[in-house]
Amino acid sequence: MKLATTVGRLGNARLWLPLIAVALLPCPLAAQETRDAQQTRDAEDAATAHASWEAFVAQSEPTEWIDAPAASAVEAGDPYDVVDEGWEPLKIGPFQVGGAFRVNYIMKDWDDAYKDLGELAFDTARVNVDLDKNRMTGSFEFRYYQDKFADGHDYAMIHHAWLGWAFDDQQQVQAGVTKVPFGILPYASHNWFFQLPYYVGFEDDYDLGVKYIGAFAPWNFQAAYFPTDEGNYFGDSGDSARYSYDLVREGPNGNAERNQFNMRLAYTMEHREDYSTEVGVSVMAGGISNDNPQGGSGDRYAVAAHLVGNYDRWNLMLQALHYDFNVDNDPNRDASPDGSFVVFGAYDAFYYVASEATVYTAGLAYTLPVDWQRVTSLTFYNDFSLMVKDESGFQNSLQNVVGCAVDAEPLYIYIDLAMGKYHPWLGGEWTTSLAEGGDNGSWHARFNINVGLYF
């Protein structure tokens, strides 16, 4: 089916179920196994932008729900990142240099090696370089992950890399590997693991292209064109050696994302001081290339509606999205010639994902200010997500994470208990959990403490 036909099907997306129904779904305690920091929470990434950009930042990322210092970032911005007075950023001319080191303590109920005392393991090392010169801005982040799959090599990858130009305090254009404007920004989750949309390419996703941001309060409009995904620029492994989850040329299908268009429109209602509600819609449409000899081009689309409420110390995030990937596979290959699933990958591993599904997410958080030595706040949260697959016989996937984030600059700590069902990172069958589901339909849990040192 060609792109025009696909776009015409947007109205068929079963997206417009009441968002509030998501919040009423049962929320088991939660925990999840992200590929070793794979779920490395960008929730502390934060390059900085100069003070003249503060007004723009406040509008370009209106969903930030934790008070940030005056030096928060534009698109690489992080609602959790706080620059402590004793940890001044390193500035070299127009550049600001920073980074982080993170470690995990892990317990998994499905793995005997983790059941007794758990395991303390290295998570991530990263370096950030941010540019601020007159109207030119930019941000670069490179990450390193330790080998967790005993396959002979570690993983290094670009997280993002873009240059931007500010037309004024309300408009900016960015070019490079930049965040895809879709759904709740900057994240649809409060925890270290993200929500289920991350694992199917719709949360904290980065691609290679050009993006426009217009922050005209109370409106925020973003549009982008990505001729290709961010690709695998480093490493000696497969196409999936990347940060963001995308279609990859691995496994049976050999597909890749091409010529993607995104538009996102959000409106923020200011009720009174410290009380606001953002509502928004997002649209994505793009093509799919196929490197199989007998395969052909395909197309894909996604739509989403979201609500973000900031009510004093409370934050509420609701989102529903529907996606559809129409692939033209080689019928001589042994997997999914009917297009019932596609192959996604990141962190140098791939798995199968249902070609069409609706994903509901709901997150609630409460931030408690404290004064305990360096600890300035505790944020308690519960994030739930449900993936309803359209293919008959496919099992729905679920994830729930309950936890607490501790802000103790220069440390930021996530304490998470997660559960998942038909989830590749939470005890499910690795290859098939996000597609047909597999035979393992039990709930599995992971307890995780992530400690990050940010500088």
Dihedral in degrees, nearest 10, Cα atoms 64, 70, 71, 74:
40
Which fold, 3-454?
Porin (2.40.160)
What does DSSP assign to residue 430?
A: T
pLDDT of residue 228: 92
pLDDT, mean of residues 201-222: 97
pLDDT of residue 79: 31
pLDDT of residue 397: 97
pLDDT of residue 62: 36
pLDDT of residue 251: 79
Answer with the residue of higher pLDDT: 26 or 202: 202
- State the CB neighbour count (10 A cutoff) for residue 20: 10
Among the residue ranges 51-60, 282-291, 320-329, the one predicted with the least confidence is 51-60
- Domain borders along the chain are 3-454
Tokens 């930042």 appear where? Answer: 57
Q: Are strands 356-372 and 349-354 parallel, antiparallel or unpaired?
A: unpaired
228, 208 contact by CB (below 8 A): yes
Answer with the residue of higher pLDDT: 450 or 254: 450
Give per-residue pLDDT as tens, 367-403. Answer: 999 999 899 999 999 999 999 999 999 999 999 999 9
pLDDT, mean of residues 5-14: 40
pLDDT of residue 234: 56
pLDDT of residue 115: 72
Instruction: Categorize the per-residue pLDDT at 87 as very low, low, confident or very high, splitting at 50, 70 and 90.
Output: low
pLDDT, mean of residues 264-288: 97
pLDDT at 432 over 50: yes
Give percent of the chain above pLDDT 90: 62
Among the residue ranges 132-141, 147-156, 271-280, the one predicted with the least confidence is 147-156
Give percent of the chain above pLDDT 70: 75
pLDDT of residue 337: 60
pLDDT at 34 over 60: no
pLDDT of residue 144: 92
Q: How far is CA 15 from CA 22, 63, 361, 363, in A?
A: 12, 21, 12, 18
